[in-house]
Amino acid sequence: MDVALLQQKAQFIRKYLIKLGASPQDAEDIAQESIYKLFLYVDSIDAEKVSSWLFRVARNHYYDLCRKQNKEIIITTDRFTLVDGEPLPEDHYYSYEQRIEINSVLNKLKPIYKNLLLLKYELELTYEEICELLDMKPGTLKTYLFRARENFKFLYEREVLVNEKKK
């Protein structure tokens, strides 16, 4: 196995786990544990499915950790920073409010839908990359992504209406 490729995969796993809500330390530990398990079971893993196997092991390890800690899996999006020359603070506050609404809706979706939306739109993976990671056929992926977007849209519109009624 190529060390640079493994480091790249470990970095991706860390980034993904942090987006799922893992602490940077937990994400690092899980990525290292996943790479270690890869070396233990390398002979029994299909060479074409190493990425999906590694990704699945890391994700399942994180879910196990959450269950042990009675922790809910919460998706988070990147936080923004104010920089000189950027839009007005009010614009950032509005953007922050939107992110809160988006996170709230994402966390109400089925886990597969949350993961697909996260992989496609937050981590900006291609359909091919997602298919490889999840060991999924392209047609199935497109169907699930369509359903995920529709569910998200429905819940988001409902969330916005509820929030406007509160104001």
**How confident is the model at residue 160, as a pLDDT?**
76
Instruction: Looking at the structure, give the CATH architecture of the domain made up of residues 3-68.
Output: Orthogonal Bundle (1.10)
Instruction: Looking at the structure, give the CATH architecture of the domain made up of residues 89-166.
Output: Orthogonal Bundle (1.10)
Q: Tell which residue, 20, 12, 32, 30, has the closest CA to residue 124.
A: 12
Can you list the alpha helix ranges (DSSP code H) found in the chain? Answer: 3-20, 24-41, 50-68, 89-106, 111-117, 127-134, 138-166
Q: Are the beta carbons of 109 and 152 closer than 8 angstroms?
A: yes
**How confident is the model at residue 147, as a pLDDT?**
96
**How confident is the model at residue 128, as a pLDDT?**
92
What is the model's pTM? Answer: 0.65
Sort residue 70 into left (φ over 0), alpha (ψ -120 to 50) or beta. left
**How confident is the model at residue 101, as a pLDDT?**
81
Domains 3-68 and 89-166 share a fold: no
Radius of gyration of the chain (CA): 18
**How confident is the model at residue 167, as a pLDDT?**
60
Q: What letter does residue 118 receive in the DSSP assignment? A: I
Domain boundaries along the sequence of the chain: 3-68, 89-166
Q: Which two tokens stand for residue 159?
A: 């969330």
Q: Using DSSP, state whether 48 is helix, strand or coil.
A: helix
Q: Which two tokens stand for residue 164?
A: 């406007």
**How confident is the model at residue 20, as a pLDDT?**
81
| Ranges under pLDDT 70 in the chain | 1, 71-96, 167
Q: Tell which residue, 63, 64, 62, 42, has the closest CA to residue 53.
A: 42
